[in-house]
A and B are shown apart, each in its own frame.
Chain A
Amino acid sequence: GAGVSQSPRYKVAKRGQDVALRCDPISGHVSLFWYQQALGQGPEFLTYFQNEAQLDKSGLPSDRFFAERPEGSVSTLKIQRTQQEDSAVYLCASSPTGGDEKLFFGSGTQLSVL
């Protein structure tokens, strides 16, 4: 596609439910990032991939969060046993090569945990 695509656009989950958020980066982009953005805040780094390798997962808030990019293209962010504090917009971004180049963002998935 022409840009980074994220799905679903909105997700409402009951506390304790597992969710999976999908990111389709721009075709051929090597680097992929996940960020969490709380209302009124800047994006907080979660994790970073180069191709299929997860180079940095230091931003994942707990072991309930898991991300994968098995074929170096589409990525999934999974949150197990969701909590209310997980409510946020989850942004995915990709860049052509290294992790310090221009990032192209998707529109995000807004997760609401009730």
Chain B
Amino acid sequence: TQLLEQSPQFLSIQEGENLTVYCNSSSVFSSLQWYRQEPGEGPVLLVTVVTGGEVKKLKRLTFQFGDARKDSSLHITAAQPGDTGLYLCAGANNDMRFGAGTRLTVKP
């Protein structure tokens, strides 16, 4: 059973479109992290959010931590084929638990 629920599970869009993926939980986390994983590799950290309501931007990626520190969203502007991958959120409370991920495909 996943502690963190991610939606959508799959997302296929055209290059240039915007998208938002979500990470929800009934648990409160001290911090929440977003990772991106490519086939045959381990996940790589994109960002850590710590404060409720926090917004962080990483180029075309915008991450938000919910006010209650139970949920988060990742928004990608003008998606590119290089954004294709599995996006994972992970909640931290002494250890790190992952959601099932959103598999994003960006078509040229």
Contact = CB atoms under 8 A, between A and B. Distances in A.
A and B interact physically = yes
Given A56-B95, A99-B96, A43 B88 contact: yes
Most buried by A among B88, B98, B103: B98
Interface in A89-105: 91, 93, 98-103, 105
A107 B40 contact: yes
Contacts of B6: 42
Interface of B: 2, 6, 30-31, 33, 35, 40-45, 48, 86, 88, 90, 92-101, 103
Given A41-B101, A42-B98, 19 more contacts: A33-B96, A35-B98, A40-B103, A42-B86, A42-B99, A43-B88, A55-B94, A56-B95, A93-B42, A93-B96, A98-B94, A100-B31, A102-B48, A103-B43, A103-B45, A105-B43, A106-B42, A107-B41, A107-B42
